Amino acid sequence: MTTPTAPVAAPSPPNAAALTQPQQPSYWLWVLCLLGVDYFSTLAYQPSTSFQVAGRLAPLATVVVVLVTLLCALPVYCYVAGKSPHGAGSIALLEQLVHGWRGKTLVLGLLGFAATDFVMIKTLSLADAAEHLIHNSYLEESKTFGQIASWAKETSNAYFGPRFTDYFTPQMVVTIMLGVVGFLFWFLLRHGFTRNVLTVAVPVVAVYLLLNAVVIGAGLLHLAEHPERLTQWFEQVQRGDWQLAEFGGSPHGWVVIGLLCLLFLPQLSLGLSGFEMSLIVMPQVKGAPDDDKLNPRGRIRNTRKLLIVAALIMSVYLLGSVLVTTTLIPPEAFHTKGPADNRALAYLAHGGRLADGPGAAPGLGGLFGPLFGSIYDAVTILLLSLAGTSVMTALAVLLPQFLLRFGMELKWAHKWGVLLGLFALVNLAVTIYFQASVHAQRGAYATGVMVLMSSAAAVTFLSMREERRAKGRKHGPLRYTVIALVFIATTVAVILTSPSGLLISFGFIATILASSVCARALRSDEMRTIGFDFVDAESRFLWESLCAADFPVLVPHRPGRHERDLKEETIRWDHQMDPDADIVFLEVEVDDPSNFYQRLLVAVLREDKRVVIKVTRCVSVAHAIAAVALEMSKSSKPPGVHFGWSEMDLLAASWSYLAFGEGNVPWKVRELIVEAQPDPERRPRVIIG
C-alpha cells in the first residue's frame, strides 16, 4: 500500500541514471577537489581582474567578495543542499515551490542561464589557459604560436579570402587547439563523475593549490620583511592614488572607498562561481551508512562541510593573492596585453620584476623563474582545461533531470557523442564570437553565475517563508531577504554592464523552449503512464477484482459536472444499454498537466450497485483513461469506453490537450489505445454517443 502526496517524477532513462548516480560515493574531501576544478580555477585570472576593475582598491574590494561568499552565498547553498540532496540544486527547489506551467517556464529559463554559466566557464577557462601558454617564458621567446597563427592566416586567406584573417590571432589559435585537446578528457567524463575523474582531479587540484600557496606565501613573506610596502599601499589608497583613471587621483574619504568597493562587486563576482556546481556533484559525496534515500542526512552534513571548507580555502587564497599581486606587481603589467594580464600569479611564478618601492627586486626569490613558472603554467593549464570539461559534464548531468519532465527524452540527448558535438559547436561559436578574449567573456560568465545565485537566494527565502508560515509566523527571514536583494541588485548591475550574457542565455532559453514544445508534440501518442499506486489496501483489492472480471462498460465521468445517477441514465439511454449491464464509472482529476509522465493514484469504491474508480495525480485525462482501460483488458474481456459527444472544436481541443491535459478526450483515447495495443481483439472499444 502506498500513499504518496506529491507528483512522482518520471524515472530517468538508463544513461541519465548512470550520470546522476555514482557507482560508489567518495569521501567529501576528495569531492572537494572535484568542485575545486571549477571553483579554484578562478585564481588563475581573478587577481588581475581585481586590479583592472578596482586598481589599488582591489584588496578592499576582495574583502567585499569574501564577505558576500561567507555571509551570503554559503548560508544559501548550505540550506539548498539540505532541501535538494540529489544533485539538482536550487532549480529543483524552485520546481517544488512553483508548480504548473509557470514553474516549468521558470525552470527552463534558469536552465538557459545554467547553460550559459557552464559554457562560458569552459570557453573563458580555455582562453585563460591559452594566455598562460602563449606567455610562458620558454614558448614566448620561441614565437611558436605566432608562426602557427601566421600559417593559419595564410591558409584562411587562400581559401576564404581576407575576410576571416583577423580572427587567426595566436590567442584564438591556441584556445581552439586547447579545446581540441580538452576532448581527450571526455574519455574520463563520458560516464559522469566516476572514480577515474577523482583520480585525476584530486592530485591536480592538490598540486595547483600547493603551487599557489608557494607563490602567495612567498609574496606575503616579502611583505612581512618589507612592511613599508603595505604602508606605502595604504597611503596611496588614502590620497586617492588608485590607478583608476576615472577618479583622477584626488583623495576621497573611507565612506566613498567603501561604496566603491561595493560597486565593484558585480565585476568581481566571478570569485563567487562554483557553488551551483557543488550541488551537482552532491550525489558523489559519501554519507552515513544509515542514510535515508529520500533525505540522506549524512550526505547533507558532509556536503555542508565541503561547502564551508571550499569557501574558506577560496577566501584565504583570494585575499592573499590579490593583496600580493596588487602591492608587488607594477601597475603597468596589468594593462591589456601586459605580462600580468589574466595571469598575475603566473607573472610572479616566472620571477617577474616587482614594483618600484621598498624591497624592489627582479623577482620574489631564487626559486621563481622560467622553470618554476613553466611548472606552474603546466598545472594551471591542466586545471583550466579540466574546469571547462567538467562543467560540460555537469550540464549533461543537470539538463536531463529536468527536461525529462517536459517530455524531452530524445534519443540523441543520451548519446554522449552527440551531446559532446553539440557542446563543442556552441563552445566554438562563443570562442569565435568573443575572439577568445578573457576580458570580453567575463561579463557573460558573470551573468550566468549571478542569475543562478540570485535564484538560489530567492528560492531559499521563499522556502523558509513557507516553513515559517506553516509554524504560524507571518514574516519571512529578514537575513535571507537582504541576501536575495544583494544578489538580485548585483545581477541587474552585471546585466546592465554586459548584456552579452543575457543574449546568450536567451538563445539557450529559446532553444530549450522550442525543443521541449516539439518533443512534447512528437511524443504525444506515448502512454506516459509509468504505473499505478493505491490509496489503501481495499482499493487495490477491488482494482484487482475488476481487472479479473469482465466489466464491459467503462464510463468516464467528469467529477462535479453531473450527478452519477443522471450520467448513468443518460449513458444507458444514448448508448441503448441493457438495464442490467454493469457500469464502472471512471473519474479522473488532472493534477499538473505541465508534467509529461504520470504515476496514477487510484481509489476504488462501491456505491450501491455501481463501482467508481477515482484517479488522481494525473497529467492528462486521455492518457489516464487509456491506461486504465488497457490495464483492465490485460486479463479479461476488453471493456467498452463510453463517452458523451464533445462540443469542442478541433483547434480548441488540441490546445486544451497540450496545455491542460484535457480537450477532445475520446478521440485521443482511441489514438492512444490503437498505438499501444496492436491486436484489435485485445483493444478496449471507444464508443461515442
Mean pLDDT of all residues in 377-404: 76
* Contact (CB, 8 A) for 173 and 131: no
pLDDT band at 13; cut points 50, 70, 90:
very low
Residue 8 lies in a domain: no
Q: With 80 as the cut, is the pLDDT of residue 242 above it?
A: yes
Q: How far apart are CA 364 and CA 223, in angstroms?
A: 10
| Residue 374 confidence class, pLDDT cut points 50, 70, 90 | very high
Examine the fold and report which residue of 521, 543, 558 is the final residue of a domain before the chain moves on.
521
How far apart are the C-alpha atoms of 337 and 48, rounded to whole Å?
12
Look up the pTM and report it: 0.82
Task: Please check whether residue 511 lies inside any domain of the structure.
Answer: yes
Q: Do 392 and 505 share a structural domain?
A: yes
Reported confidence tier of residue 381, pLDDT bands at 50, 70, 90: very high
pLDDT digit string (tens) for 541-595? 988 888 888 767 888 877 665 676 677 767 767 666 666 667 888 888 888 887 8
CATH of the domain at 314: 1.20.1740.10
Nearest CA to 626 out of 585, 665, 680, 659 is that of 665
- C-alpha dihedral sign at 159, 163, 167, 170: positive
- Contact between 133 and 178 under an 8 Å Cβ cutoff? The reply is yes
Which of 505, 521, 537 terminates a domain? The answer is: 521
CB atoms near residue 426 (< 10 Å): 19
372 pLDDT band (50/70/90 cuts)?
very high
Domain range spanning residue 421? 24-521
Amino acid residing at 208: Y
Task: Provide the pairing of β-strand 553-556 with 640-643.
Answer: parallel
Tell me the C-alpha distance between 66 and 55, whole Å.
Answer: 18
Q: What is the pLDDT of residue 663?
A: 60
Mode of pairing for the β-strands spanning 610-618 and 553-556: unpaired
Whether residue 347 is found in the same domain as residue 381: yes
* Angular region, 279: left φ>0, alpha ψ -120 to 50, beta rest: alpha
User: 329-359, pLDDT tens digit by residue?
Assistant: 999 999 988 999 999 999 999 999 998 877 7
Residue 14 maps to a domain: no
Q: What are residue 228's phi and psi, to 5 degrees? A: -65, -20
195 and 316 part of one domain: yes
Is the predicted pLDDT of residue 309 greater than 90, yes or no? Answer: yes
Least confident of 64-73, 192-201, 353-362: 192-201
* HEC profile of 359-371: CCCCCCCCCCCHH
Give the pLDDT confidence score for residue 301 in this predicted structure.
93
Q: Are 309 and 39 in contact (CB under 8 A)?
A: no
Q: Residue 12 domain-assigned? A: no
Coil vs helix vs strand at 25: coil
| Same domain assignment for residues 289 and 219 | yes
Q: What is the pLDDT of residue 654?
A: 58
**Nearest 5°: phi and psi at 27?**
-55, 140
Considering the domain architecture, whether residues 201 and 331 belong to the same structural domain is answered as yes
499 shares its domain with 534 = no
Residues 533 and 466 reside in one and the same domain: no
**What whole-number distance in Å separates Cα of residue 530 and Cα of residue 7?**
12
Residue 658 has pLDDT above 60, yes or no: no
**Is 13 within a domain?**
no
Residue/partner pairs of 559-564 with CB below 8 Å, 24 or more apart: 559/587, 559/589, 559/614, 564/607, 564/610, 564/612
Q: Which of 456, 491, 521 is the last residue of a domain?
A: 521
Please provide the distance, in angstroms rounded to a whole number, between the alpha carbons at the two ends of the chain: 37
Which is nearest to 313 in space by CA: 209, 463, 437?
A: 209
Q: Is 400 part of any domain?
A: yes
- Whether residue 173 is contained in a domain is answered as yes
CA atoms within 13 A on the CB side of 25: 24
Of 52-56, 198-202, 237-241, the one with minimum mean pLDDT is 198-202
Helix ranges (H only) for 434-499 are 438-470, 478-497
Mean pLDDT of the chain: 82
476 has pLDDT over 90: no
CA 39 – CA 36 distance, rounded (Å): 5
Q: Residue 223 in contact with residue 230, Cβ under 8 Å?
A: yes
Q: What is the CA radius of gyration of the chain?
A: 31
CA-CA distances (angstroms) from residue 341 to 208, 332, 336, 347, 438? 19, 10, 6, 9, 10
Three-state DSSP class for residue 556: strand
- Give the number of other Cβ atoms within 10 Å of residue 476's Cβ: 18
Rounded to 5 degrees, φ, ψ at 285 are -80, 130
Average pLDDT over residues 518-546: 85
Of 26, 34, 480, 71, nearest to 278 by C-alpha is 34
Who wins on pLDDT, 66 or 594? 66
Q: What stretch of H or E contains 121?
A: helix 100-134
Tell me: do 671 and 594 sit in the same domain: yes
Measured between alpha carbons, how far is residue 44 from residues 194, 380, 383, 453 in Å? 26, 7, 10, 22
pLDDT band at 133 (very low <50, low <70, confident <90, very high): very high
- Looking at the fold, whether 543 and 621 belong to one and the same domain comes out as yes
Count how many domains the chain has.
2
107 domain residue, yes or no? yes
The residue whose grid cell reads 489505445 is 673
Distance CA 55, CA 527 (A): 62
The predicted pLDDT at position 12 comes to 39
Phi, psi of 584 (to 5 degrees): -110, 120
Which pLDDT belongs to residue 160?
72
Could you give phi then psi for residue 193, rounded to 5 degrees? -85, 90
Position with higher pLDDT, 600 vs 519: 600
pLDDT digits (tens, 9 = 90+) for 402-457: 777 777 765 555 555 566 677 778 888 898 889 889 999 998 889 988 998 999 99
What is the structure's pLDDT at 681? 85
State which of 182-186, 300-304, 676-680 shows the largest mean pLDDT.
300-304
Where residue 16 falls among pLDDT bands split at 50, 70, 90? very low
Is the pLDDT at 468 greater than 60? The verdict is: yes
pLDDT band at 145; cut points 50, 70, 90: confident
pLDDT, average across residues 625-641: 87
Residue 43 pLDDT more than 90? yes
The H or E element spanning position 603 is strand 598-607
DSSP letter at 552 equals -
Do 553 and 629 sit in the same domain of this protein? yes
pLDDT, greater one: 406 or 376: 376
Q: Are residues 496 and 557 in the same domain?
A: no
Q: Are residues 655 and 514 in the same domain?
A: no
| Measured distance CA(443)–CA(268) in Å, rounded | 10
